[in-house]
Chain A
Amino acid sequence: MRRVLALTKKELRIHFSSPFVYLAAALFLSAASLWFFLIYGFLARDTASLRGYFAAMPLLLVIVIPALTMKGWAEEYRRGTSELLLTLPLRSVELVIAKYLGTMVVVLSMVLLTLPVVFLLIPLGEFDSGQIATEYIGTVLLSGTAVALGLFVSVWCTNQSTAFIGAAGLLLVMTLIGRLAVVVSLPAPITGIFGYISLDTHFDGFIRGVLDIRALWYYLWLTALSLYLTSLVLEARRSA
């Protein structure tokens, strides 16, 4: 565990030395508020709810998370530091977890910076604190899954642009697939499967204020699966 934490600290140093991270964070915070106040029209809707703010999270994270994960493994391959990393006396799983934790600390910092939206708006009406809590829990879980998927894409790529495009594409498909049935007529079982795969569908309950065990399970399981598959790829590279 100590080795994992040491590696996580190194990841954090790399993240916080990268201008991309600050740009991604500023873009995320600004775009979320821009959408909520100016496009969604919080004041005009006259409703004490942050549903609109959090409803934008799945699509915003499609852009922001790949910007954070694209450097994950691709940058190590490009700079040749992966050779060194893979020879460290650490298991592949430990390497993957360290990368994941490093990126998650950055994502959590970004999510924490959305709190001023809540604190500034609370005096305006009777906001539902339980609902806001689940909206944050959902955002953290969704981000966690998106980071794990982004790192999984990154482990296959040798340059950052490919990693970014690949992760953004995967997240976009996994976000929108649940809504495909709105535009295309599909058989009910296919609609059900697409709905189950979709990152967005499971997020809906959190926005309403409900912690659904199936949604919790889905995010945690998909995160674990992605991290595990990433470690498999790494293991394969190690033994190659």
Chain B
Amino acid sequence: MRKLSRYKLLYFAVLPLAFIAVGTLGSQVRGRIDLTTGQLYTISPPARERLLDLDEPVSISYFLSPRLESYSAEPERIREYLEEFAATSPLVELRVLDASEPEHRDTALELGLQPQQLTDNDSESQSLISVFSGVVVQAADESRRVLPFVLDSEEFEYELISSWDEMVAERTPEIVVMSGNDELELRSAYQNALLRLSERFTVRLLEQGDELPLTADMLFLFGNKDLRTVTVLQIEDFLAAGGGVMLSVEGVHVQLDDELSARELNRSDLDLLLERYGVRVSRELVVDRYHMLVPLAGAGGNPESFVSYPHWIELLSRNAAPGHALTEAVTGLDLFWPSRIEPVGDAPSELNLTQLYTTSYEGRVMDSPFATNPALGDDIYDRVWREGGDRIGVVMTLSGRFPPAPGATAELTTERGRLLLVGGGYTFSDFLELGEDPMRNLRFLTAAGHWLASEEDLLALLGRSSRDLRLTGIASSNVRAAVVNLAQWVNIVAIPVAVLLFGAVRIIRRRRFKGVDAASL
């Protein structure tokens, strides 16, 4: 009896303690398997490469307010990523600092970290508290980069590695930006685009006719309505010297302040230059059966409604050239009143032309007279309806060795330039920020900068956080809605009812069987 009591003592007291001890020890073991496509939450090969190339110590400080962790799981994910990052190289020292402590908070502010306001629910007065989630990367030579506030674990690696590269290179690629439309002044009409670009690049604004600085890596030109010959010559020289150029161009100009009247642009020096490269911007407007809706103010003060507008085309991954570094890095692009961009004649053999985006297979082109009034709705598309339809090119890239200007005295270069042609004069203006995803064109702009600067690694990192998760598998919105309705009906009603019927039949049969069984006895 005494032996049994001892056994029970072991069973009731010692084993539970052992269980708790094992549980506590087990919780210290860290490790994870990332099963997401592209291993989204695991350190990427480009990041690993940079760490393995390190030959001097780097310190990373993550200033984090613990209060923020109770609101969002993102700081924990960022911390886990940084821990994995630091574990990859012995030269990386990671410090996670409690930014609620005055000493660390002061340091964070001195370093340029930006706290965000959070409502303190605990307080009766619903007061605001400041929270930090910022990262400081510092090299041995005291140069540093600051991520003022990070709360998106999916974009974090891109932001960290971009800053890392800036710190190592001690400069960011420089973009010269010009407007080719005299009615759209850069600072007022392209505020968001410029702000976005300046997050990753050194941005310099120039007027047409200004001299291009020698330090420029890229030239971005928004619109071509009022493009001057001197600018076209600059583009030609810049490309021949191996620079990167992005042109948002149009063959038909739509006047925003004149009831959207549209007119063909005269052939210009830019057209001649592009034709030398084997590309043409047509004097037609491209419309697509799969298009977006625009808000339309109702008459007599009625609330606004949304109408189909075939001139607003949403280019998604299904419209993109597969496997291209640029299209893989973005979720797409929105174009208003796009012009067709197509190959023409024979392109120089050293230039590689890629049709980056096309319309859906039901794209159409509209000749003059152009119908652009949103009130026409789907009629706009029907007016140009013809049997058959095609994918119509609206964005194109050219890369390779660009020929120098005829008769140019400059030496022939072996540098390889890059040209991105986007068929829409307003594509990156603030005016277009009314889509389902207003950030889409801005993200494309950042990606275009990386592509033109040949920063393929950063493009790949950007692509990890820019997967197109929208429901684009079925192009027709009617079919898509029908599939979702079917899924709703099946899962909310049909399957639960089937389960209940199955149960009822089974229980009734069982009771009958029992009844028969009892009667036979």
Q: Flag the segment in B135-143, B185-193, B215-223, B468-476 that touches A.
A: B468-476
Q: Which residues of B contact A26 (CB under 8 A)?
A: 496-497, 499-500
Q: Give, as a whole number of angstroms, the nearest-CB distance from A231 to chain B.
A: 9
Task: Indicate whether B30 reaches chain A with its CB closer than 8 angstroms.
Answer: yes
Residue of B nearest to A22 (CB): B503
Task: Indicate whether A5 reaches chain B with its CB closer than 8 angstroms.
Answer: no
- Is A124 a contact partner of B473 (Cβ separation < 8 A)? yes
Task: Indicate whether B478 reaches chain A with its CB closer than 8 angstroms.
Answer: no
Q: Which residues of A contact B305 (CB under 8 A)?
A: none
- Is B73 a contact partner of A37 (Cβ separation < 8 A)? no
Task: Indicate whether B436 reaches chain A with its CB closer than 8 angstroms.
Answer: yes
Task: Indicate whether B104 reaches chain A with its CB closer than 8 angstroms.
Answer: no
Contact of A210 among B36, B98, B472 (CB under 8 A): B36
Per-position 1/0 for B491-509, Cβ under 8 A of A = 1110111011011101100
Task: Indicate whether A232 reaches chain B with its CB closer than 8 angstroms.
Answer: yes
**Given A22-B504, A33-B488, A46-B436, A211–B33 Cβ distance below 8 Å?**
yes
- Is A121 a contact partner of B35 (Cβ separation < 8 A)? no
Q: Give, as a whole number of angstroms, the nearest-CB distance from B481 to chain A.
A: 7
Contact of A182 among B16, B121, B490, B492 (CB under 8 A): B121
Q: Give, as a whole number of angstroms, the nearest-CB distance from B139 to chain A.
A: 31
Q: Which residues of A contact B31 (CB under 8 A)?
A: 212-213
Contact of B495 among A116, A122, A209 (CB under 8 A): A116
Contact of B71 among A47, A113, A182 (CB under 8 A): A182
Q: How far is the CA of A42 from the CA of B467 in the complex (A)?
A: 18
Q: Give, as a whole number of angstroms, the nearest-CB distance from A5 to chain B.
A: 22
Q: Give, as a whole number of angstroms, the nearest-CB distance from B279 to chain A.
A: 31
Kindly name the residue among B31, B35, B123, B470 whose own CB sees the greatest number of chain A CB atoms within 10 A.
B35
- Is A221 a contact partner of B41 (Cβ separation < 8 A)? no
Q: Give, as a whole number of angstroms, the nearest-CB distance from A52 to chain B.
A: 12
Q: Which residues of A contact B391 (CB under 8 A)?
A: none
Residue of B nearest to A183 (CB): B121
- Is A224 a contact partner of B481 (Cβ separation < 8 A)? no
Q: How far is the CA of A33 from the CA of B489 in the complex (A)?
A: 9
Contact of B70 among A21, A42, A120, A182 (CB under 8 A): A182
**Given A184-B122, A228-B19, A208–B499 Cβ distance below 8 Å?**
no
Q: How far is the CA of A181 from the CA of B75 in the complex (A)?
A: 15
Task: Indicate whether A88 reaches chain B with its CB closer than 8 angstroms.
Answer: no
Q: Give, as a whole number of angstroms, the nearest-CB distance from B17 to chain A.
A: 11
Within 8 A of B (CB), among A82-133: 113-114, 116-117, 120-126, 128-131, 133
- Is B503 a contact partner of A19 (Cβ separation < 8 A)? yes
Task: Indicate whether A134 reaches chain B with its CB closer than 8 angstroms.
Answer: yes
Task: Indicate whether A204 reaches chain B with its CB closer than 8 angstroms.
Answer: yes
- Is B436 a contact partner of A204 (Cβ separation < 8 A)? no
Kindly name the residue among A191, A217, A225 whose own CB sees the greatest number of chain B CB atoms within 10 A.
A217
Per-position 1/0 for A183-195, Cβ under 8 A of B = 1111010010000
Contact of B35 among A124, A133, A186 (CB under 8 A): A133
- Is A128 a contact partner of B37 (Cβ separation < 8 A)? yes
Task: Indicate whether A196 reaches chain B with its CB closer than 8 angstroms.
Answer: yes
Q: Give, as a whole number of angstroms, the nearest-CB distance from B16 to chain A.
A: 7
**Given A33-B491, A131-B35, A209-B35, A22–B502 Cβ distance below 8 Å?**
yes
Task: Indicate whether B431 reaches chain A with its CB closer than 8 angstroms.
Answer: no
- Is B29 a contact partner of A213 (Cβ separation < 8 A)? yes
Q: Please tell me the size bucket of the interface on A.
A: 35 or more
- Is B469 a contact partner of A210 (Cβ separation < 8 A)? no
Residue of A nearest to B40 (CB): A209
Within 8 A of A (CB), among B1-25: 8, 11-12, 15-16, 19-20, 22-23
Per-position 1/0 for A21-36, Cβ under 8 A of B = 1110111011011100
Within 8 A of B (CB), among A202-240: 204-205, 208-214, 217-218, 221-222, 224-225, 228-229, 232, 235-236, 239
Q: Which residues of B contact A133 (CB under 8 A)?
A: 35
- Is A125 a contact partner of B471 (Cβ separation < 8 A)? yes
Contact of A214 among B19, B30, B33, B500 (CB under 8 A): B30
Q: Which residues of A contact B472 (CB under 8 A)?
A: 125-126
Q: Which residues of B contact A204 (CB under 8 A)?
A: 73
Q: Give, as a whole number of angstroms, the nearest-CB distance from B323 to chain A.
A: 15
- Is A232 a contact partner of B70 (Cβ separation < 8 A)? no
Contact of B491 among A19, A37, A214 (CB under 8 A): A37
Q: Can you list 7 contacts pairing A with B, beta carbon distance less than 8 Å? A: A34-B492, A117-B487, A120-B483, A196-B27, A210-B33, A213-B32, A225-B23
Binding site for A on B (CB under 8 A): 8, 11-12, 15-16, 19-20, 22-23, 26-27, 29-37, 40-41, 66-67, 69-71, 73, 77, 98, 120-123, 317, 436, 467-474, 480-481, 483-484, 486-488, 490-493, 495-497, 499-500, 502-504, 506-507, 510
Binding site for B on A (CB under 8 A): 16-17, 19, 21-23, 25-27, 29-30, 32-34, 37-38, 42-43, 46-49, 113-114, 116-117, 120-126, 128-131, 133-134, 179, 181-186, 188, 191, 196, 204-205, 208-214, 217-218, 221-222, 224-225, 228-229, 232, 235-236, 239
What are the nearest 3 A-B pairs in CB distance? A22-B503, A130-B35, A181-B70
